[in-house]
Amino acid sequence: MNESQFNLSNLIKSGLGLFLIALPAIAFGHTIEGSDASFVEAIDGPAIFPFMYLGAKHMVTGYDHLLFLVGVIFFLYRPKHVIQYVTLFAIGHSITLLFGVIADLQVNAYFIDTIIGLSIVYKAFENIDGFKRVFGFEPNTKIAVLVFGLFHGLGLATKLQEFDLSDNGLVTNIISFNIGVEIGQILALSAVFILLSLWRTSISYLRHAFITNTALMAGGFLLAGYQISAYVLQPLY
Amino acid sequence: MSNDIPVNAPDPKSILKASAIALVVAAIVTITVILPAEFGSDPLGTGEALGLTVLSKDANPFEEQLEVHRTDFVEFELGAFQSVEYKYLMDLEAAMVFSWVADGEVYYDMHAEPAGFDEEYAESFEQGNNTRQMGSFHAPFSGIHGWFWENRSLDTVTVRLYTSGFYVSSTVFRDGGTFDRQLDSIVD
């Protein structure tokens, strides 16, 4: 890849697109809000389908999780590989989501969301062969996806923990939420995979791969920057 | 990850350059746009220049009210299975605080009817069976706002209502008839 492929106007074009995609996430933050929040607070007892819906909604509208998955499947061409990696991601986040809520694990939400932002940077950096070419080694991609899955799950657990969840039906509700997360993930991933596959048939895919992943990196840094700013500047009350 | 198809590997220099640009772009956007728009911090004055600082202004806890301040106390005696409706005429955004206490359980329905519509357009906010309720109310539209109480027991129950707010007048709906109550302002 030569210098000319890395021209600024292409970067700006792809960057702008990604930025617009990420904007709603930045504008609204990514928490459970409004009437959904009052529902979660009020519920006492098992509520399988509402929690499934909330889990799916959280995933489909969760730009941080989606950007990470775009990075993960960017260079996966075979559905078999997509399923492998996404299963690893799902195992990772299921473990920490279930364990985190049941064990009442309290983690700073800004910290976790910063890590999630940086996981996007990591994945994009890996996609442009950053580790191999710059540092001369390749971390195991499967283990990386699993580990970041653990962090994403901790993020989900933290969002749910912000509510005073009733112990009555807790396990049922968390498992329902988790199943919803997987459903939402399959829905979102199918859309992303189809779009990427369409784009792959055009010659511009590989040409823009480098720039797109650079933009993905910028998006990850931006989400991390947002969370760090929130941690530093948010009033304490 | 790029095992499926060989890709022309970029050289380390452009990888580092791209990463640095990504970091710098994110930092610039964070400092010039996100900080002023979300957190009310504007280190470079870009938020002021782009008019973004308005986004991070918190809602003012103070809210001016235009109607004069009135208070009201009213008492209803409800025989077995009798009911009454009591509503205040309030403008959009007008507020009041209230408490009602009954010496026996009653069915209540706090609701409102927007001005200029038929009675069937009533919007209900809160229903249940109780002996008391306290609350604050913020009129979501102009119209009449208040309660329906029904004594569903065989004993006589007395409901006492205490309110203070920015309503204009009140109306009692009882036994098929209505009558208005004139309420005095507390300041004159």
DSSP 8-state symbol, B116: T
Provide CB contacts within 8 A for A132, sequence distance 6+.
A138, B9
Least CA distance to B28: which residue of chain A? A222
pLDDT score for B157 = 97
Q: What is the pTM of this model?
A: 0.66
- Digit-coded pLDDT (tens) for A157-191: 888 877 767 777 788 888 888 899 889 888 888 88
In this predicted structure, which of A14-28, A89-103, B126-140 has the lowest mean pLDDT?
Answer: A14-28
Nearest by CB to A134, from B5, B16, B27: name it: B16
Task: Count CA atoms within 13 Å of residue A49 on its CB side.
Answer: 0
Is A35 a residue whose pLDDT tops 80?
no
Structure tokens at A120: 């996007």
Residue of B nearest to A29 (CA): B38
Q: Is the dihedral of CA B31, B37, B41, B47 positive or negative?
A: positive
CA–chain centroid gap for A161, Å, is 18
Residue identified by tokens 């030569």 is A2
State pLDDT tens for residues A191-231.
888 888 888 887 777 778 888 899 999 999 999 999 999 88
Distance from CA of A113 to the nearest CA of B (A): 15
**For B2-28, what is each residue's pLDDT tens digit?**
444 445 567 888 888 889 999 999 999
Check CB contact under 8 Å for B39 and A210.
no
ipTM of the complex: 0.70
Position A18 pLDDT exceeds 60 = no
Cβ distance A69 to A184 under 8 Å? no
Query: Is the per-residue pLDDT at B184 higher than 70?
Result: yes
Contact A16/B at CB under 8 A: no
The per-residue pLDDT for A22 is 46
Distance CA A21, CA A48 (A): 31
- Dump pLDDT digits (tens) for A40-68: 666 777 778 888 888 888 888 888 888 88
**Which residue did the predictor score with more confidence, A205 or A236?**
A205
DSSP A23: H
B175: which 2 tokens? 């036994």
Cβ pair B26:A81 closer than 8 A: no
Q: Is pLDDT at B149 greater than 90 in this prediction? A: yes
Q: Compute the average pLDDT of residues A70-79.
A: 86
The residue of chain B nearest to residue A228, with distances taken between CA atoms, is B30
Q: What local confidence, expressed as pLDDT, does residue B160 receive?
A: 97
pLDDT band at A31 (very low <50, low <70, confident <90, very high): low
| CA nearest to A212, candidates A4, A5, A3 | A5
Q: Which of residues 58-77 of A touch B (CB under 8 A)?
A: 74-77
- The helix-helix angle for A141-161 and A63-73 (nearest 10°) equals 170
When pLDDT is averaged across residues A110-139 and rounded to a whole number, the result is 88
Are the beta carbons of A225 and B38 separated by less than 8 Å? no
Say if the Cβ atoms of B18 and A214 lie within 8 Å. yes
In B65-122, beta strands by DSSP E:
70-78, 83-90, 95-114
Strand (E) or helix (H) holding A226: helix A204-233
What pLDDT does residue B95 have? 95
Task: Dump pLDDT digits (tens) for B109-129.
Answer: 999 999 888 777 889 999 999
In angstroms, the separation between the Cα of residue A142 and the nearest Cα of chain B is 9
Closest-CA residue of B relative to A127 is B1
Is B7's Cβ below 8 Å from some Cβ in A? Answer: yes
B115 touches chain A (CB under 8 A): no
User: Which residues in chain A touch residue B34, judged by CB atoms under 8 angstroms apart?
Assistant: 26, 222, 225-226, 229
